[in-house]
Structure 1
Amino acid sequence: MLEQTAGEHVIDLLKAWKVDRIFGMPGDSINEFMEELRKQQEIRFIQIRHEETGALAASSHAKLTHQIGVCLSIAGPGAVHLQNGLYDAKKDKAPVLAIVGQISSTLVGTDNFQELKLEAMFEDAAVYNRRVQTAEQLPDLLNQAIRTAYAEKGPAVLIVPDDLFAQKVKSKEALTSSIYSSPIIRPEEKDLKEAVTYMHESKKPAILVGKGAEGAAEEVLAFAEKIKAPIIVSLPAKGMIPDDHPQNMGQLGQLGTKPSYDAIQEADLLLLLGTAFPYREFLPEDTPAVQIDIDPSVIGKYYPSRVGLVGDLRSILPWFTNGLEEKNDDFLQTYIKKRENWNEELQQDIDKETELLQPQQAIAEIQNILEDDAVISLDVGSVTVWTARYLRLKKQKMILSSWLATMGCSLPGAIAAKLAFPDRQVIGIVGDGGFSMGMQDFATAVKYKLPIIMVVFNNEKISMIEFEQQAMGNQPEATDISDIDYAGFARACGGIGYTADSREELRHALKLAASSEVPVVIDAHVENLPPLPGKVSYQQGIHYGQYMIKSMFSKGSTTIPPIKKGLKRL
């Protein structure tokens, strides 16, 4: 009977699951598994400088490829560092496997060096969370972990005392297999007919489409064109529906457009397709809604839908498209015109001559070098607003930390994207606050010769938080951050760094970066403009006025502070 170490079994199973890379940092509670990784060539170990980067990269890999992302850490501090990336995967429904080392099985429970109660620590973050007790269990538990990650779309954690990897395991009758089969789910016909009734009666339907529509863009567009509905796209779904499609009104919410907000408010029927949009204040009060989602738990979760249909959009939408009559397009044409007017305003913002480089101008320069199949790895903060509003995506793909909204996700996402798609252009868009949270792993991009382009919007501020404080009527507190020479840092890591203080300098730097064969950081010094929502509420306007008055009196001034040009939509 053939004997292998448990670690060898793990390697074979990971290959069977088509895992080709693992993100991690070696250490004393995974050394036996590292030895097994060393002896084979098919699975590439990507050594990161911080385990949070590894987990975020694994999550990004899963979002981009729909294949499981894998990360590896030691017990104790390494395991603690994984948490943020695993929560990102859970919130954004990305299948991830975390193999977490533990102290020797003979010492577990003795409160030894670096021992933590890992099962308790990961319980909330993971959809599957088990500690392996014996080497014989390891192969079957690994299969269970990966299958659960796929089935429940989230992170699975397998905690393994390192000595178990080296123990011999006799081949035995397998309890599990290395396959996952996706179910085909279809709603009942009575629910479909009820939804049709609402659609027939509607004269002003509007569609809000989310990440759940991935892979169903053609079906969404055919349906929208048939019922003559404006389409509003959630931020995680940006790029699924081409931004230049006439029915695309843009995003909704603080980073959205006024046409999208107005269309939602005026609609007499709201169609929620693959989205659980959580920002209730941007949705209508009591407009009837039909919601379609593969996940039954989100039906009616954030908006009181009249009809809920559980299933795949690719199979459900053609049923409506083929059965419905075309509607009058007066409502749609009104909003196509509003969107055109909005786009003209955005273009004026981009084209205006300014003394300082402004964020929307920086986005426009990125647009000029953007390749058709590029991947954008977007960070969290004011850069999210500028990118959502001004960057026009057609066939490109964009990833971000959407539900957890963790700063520092752009660099790990860019690393994962370039490893997954080495022939595609990868651009990271990040603020100075987000980049400085995990910039040490730019050295990882250099080590593995990944020619990513990281554009750092440097305003020496945590500007989104500053604006939020101002919008509450408060004076900004602790939102200034000290400047760093990010271009010099890139060069110190072995990459290329450019500093851009003007639009012309940024244009030149981007042109050079686009042809670079090594990682690049562009330190773009941008003016700190408030990232105002497309629709500013009355309360936001009042609170911003309160902030200005507080600012005036705190400085002992008798002059009201000037309003920046960026506030014109107040």
Structure 2
Amino acid sequence: ADAMNEGAEGAIRTFTEQFHVPVITTYKAKGMLAEDHPLSLGGAGLSPLADRTLVPFVQAADLILCVGYDPIEMRPGWRNVWHPDQQRVIDITAAPNHHYMHQASLNFIAHSGATLAALGAGIEGRRTWQGGEVEKAKEALATAFPTDEDWGPAAVMDTCRRVLPQGTLASADSGAHRILLSQMWTCDAPRALMQSSALCTMGCAVPMAIGAKLASPDRPVISFSGDAGFLMVAGELATAAELETPVIFLVFVDGSLALIEKKQRERQLKTAGVDFGRHDYAAMGRAFGGNGVSVRDRAGLEKALKEAMEADRFTLIAAEIDAEAYDGRL
């Protein structure tokens, strides 16, 4: 997002609090407003389930501010979700709108933060959304993405978020887990969750995590991968070992290209080319000189995470989950 590249998070927070404006970010701009802030509605763009709450919320606004918004990051469901003849829309971007995924009433081609500051200068803010709409939207999102399951992908993400401290850097590979993670992994700062953009690159999470640890050696770093994406880049564990980067590599093990398998079933197609064996990923971690452990419950995962944070080498945690565990969750 332009706003993230321009370092506009301070200006966004100031404007948000001055005018009581709720904020929805793209999934790559998560943390531009800390996601525990009362006016943050988290990241959008990947989850149809989240869109059921967020799209109608946006359509109910009388003014929409697009601040460095790059719609290439969004699902097609966000194409032309508003109409400038029905809603006031201000678009602040670093480049002209050549994508035509949305239109605006007014366009500024300028720095996001400086433009927000200029728009708000000398104006006294007032409370908006006084019917509790923001709180209701937050409650609807919390209901849509519960954290109380005994075991499964949401339990894995919830446990990791609770155990790992604020300031942890995370990377997400492409796949079903990324859609859920983008809703459940709360970020208190920009770039706290690194992921691919619209190209949906498989295998990116592992090398991104290694790079993040090299750049920020004092911060915990965890990568989240599906088993298929991890297998594409398993050799990068050698790099992690040789560079002595104590990264936590978490692999969701369900023996499937879960997102593609899910889409095939939803289209009533015979599944093809999406299932494979459940390999011993923990043994792969140990074979490359790191630690490796398989977990099948919250207690085992919590223990593995705490030990990984104290380790002097990388740790691969293989989280064994059921097939079709993402059904109804995305």
Q: TM-score, normalised by structure 1?
A: 0.53
Aligned to 2:41: 249
Q: Which has the higher contact order (CA 8 A, sep 6+)?
A: 2
Answer yes or no: is the 8 Å Cα contact 2:54–2:137 preserved in 1. no
Aligned to 1:276: 70
Aligned to 1:265: 59
Secondary structure in structure 2 of the residue aligned to 1:469: helix
Q: Residue 309 in 1 paired to residue 118 in 2?
A: no
1:372/1:288 Cα in 2 relative to 1: closer, same or farther (>3 Å)?
Answer: same
1:444/1:231 Cα in 2 relative to 1: closer, same or farther (>3 Å)?
Answer: same
Equivalent AA in structure 1 for residue 94 of structure 2: I
Select the structure that is richer in helix: 1
1:413/1:510 Cα in 2 relative to 1: closer, same or farther (>3 Å)?
Answer: same
Identity value in percent: 27
Secondary structure in structure 2 of the residue aligned to 1:528: coil
Q: C-alpha displacement at 1:447, in angstroms?
A: 1.0
Q: C-alpha displacement at 1:485, in angstroms?
A: 0.6
Aligned to 1:493: 288
Q: C-alpha displacement at 1:457, in angstroms?
A: 0.7
Q: C-alpha displacement at 1:361, in angstroms?
A: 0.3
Long gaps (5+) in structure 1: 1-209, 532-565
| Aligned partner of 2:243 among 448, 469, 473 | 448
Q: C-alpha displacement at 1:508, in angstroms?
A: 1.4
Structure 1 runs of 4+ aligned residues shifted over 6 Å read none
Aligned to 2:167: 373
Q: Residue 291 in 1 paired to residue 91 in 2?
A: yes
Q: C-alpha displacement at 1:530, in angstroms?
A: 5.9
Aligned to 1:504: 299
Tell me the distance in 2 between the aligned counterparts of 1:314 and 1:343. 30
Answer yes or no: is the 8 Å Cα contact 1:292–1:299 preserved in 2. no
Answer yes or no: is the 8 Å Cα contact 1:435–1:456 preserved in 2. yes
| Aligned partner of 2:31 among 218, 231, 239 | 239
Aligned to 1:426: 221
| Aligned partner of 1:351 among 141, 148, 152 | 148
Aligned to 1:557: none
Secondary structure in structure 1 of the residue aligned to 2:234: helix
Aligned to 1:57: none
Secondary structure in structure 2 of the residue aligned to 1:509: helix
Aligned to 2:195: 400
- Listed one character per residue, the Cα deviations across residues 545-567 of structure 1 (whole Å, up to 9, x for unaligned) are xxxxxxxxxxxxxxxxxxxxx53
Tell me the distance in 2 between the aligned counterparts of 1:313 and 1:211. 7
Answer yes or no: is the 8 Å Cα contact 1:223–1:320 preserved in 2. no
Secondary structure in structure 1 of the residue aligned to 2:274: coil
Q: C-alpha displacement at 1:477, in angstroms?
A: 2.0
1:345/1:568 Cα in 2 relative to 1: closer, same or farther (>3 Å)?
Answer: closer
1:34-53 matched pairs, under 5 angstroms: none
1:464/1:471 Cα in 2 relative to 1: closer, same or farther (>3 Å)?
Answer: same
Tell me the distance in 1 between the aligned counterparts of 2:304 and 2:322. 18
- Listed one character per residue, the Cα deviations across residues 472-523 of structure 1 (whole Å, up to 9, x for unaligned) are 3433221112221110011111111000022221121111111111011001
Q: Residue 333 in 1 paired to residue 132 in 2?
A: yes
Aligned to 2:208: 413
Secondary structure in structure 1 of the residue aligned to 2:120: helix
| Aligned partner of 2:10 among 218, 225, 247 | 218
Equivalent AA in structure 2 for residue 284 of structure 1: V
Q: TM-score, normalised by structure 2?
A: 0.89
Equivalent AA in structure 2 for residue 245 of structure 1: H
Answer yes or no: is the 8 Å Cα contact 2:251–2:316 preserved in 1. yes
Aligned to 1:461: 256
Tell me the distance in 2 between the aligned counterparts of 1:422 and 1:315. 32
Tell me the distance in 2 between the aligned counterparts of 1:293 and 1:512. 44
Equivalent AA in structure 2 for residue 320 of structure 1: L
1:331/1:474 Cα in 2 relative to 1: closer, same or farther (>3 Å)?
Answer: farther
Tell me the distance in 2 between the aligned counterparts of 1:404 and 1:333. 37
Secondary structure in structure 2 of the residue aligned to 1:567: coil
Answer yes or no: is the 8 Å Cα contact 1:276–1:301 preserved in 2. no
Equivalent AA in structure 1 for residue 147 of structure 2: I
Answer yes or no: is the 8 Å Cα contact 1:463–1:479 preserved in 2. yes
Tell me the distance in 2 between the aligned counterparts of 1:568 and 1:430. 17
Q: C-alpha displacement at 1:212, in angstroms?
A: 2.8
Worse overlay, 226-235 or 434-443: 226-235
Answer yes or no: is the 8 Å Cα contact 1:219–1:317 preserved in 2. yes
Tell me the distance in 2 between the aligned counterparts of 1:313 and 1:412. 30
Q: C-alpha displacement at 1:380, in angstroms?
A: 0.7
Secondary structure in structure 2 of the residue aligned to 1:342: helix
Equivalent AA in structure 2 for residue 229 of structure 1: V
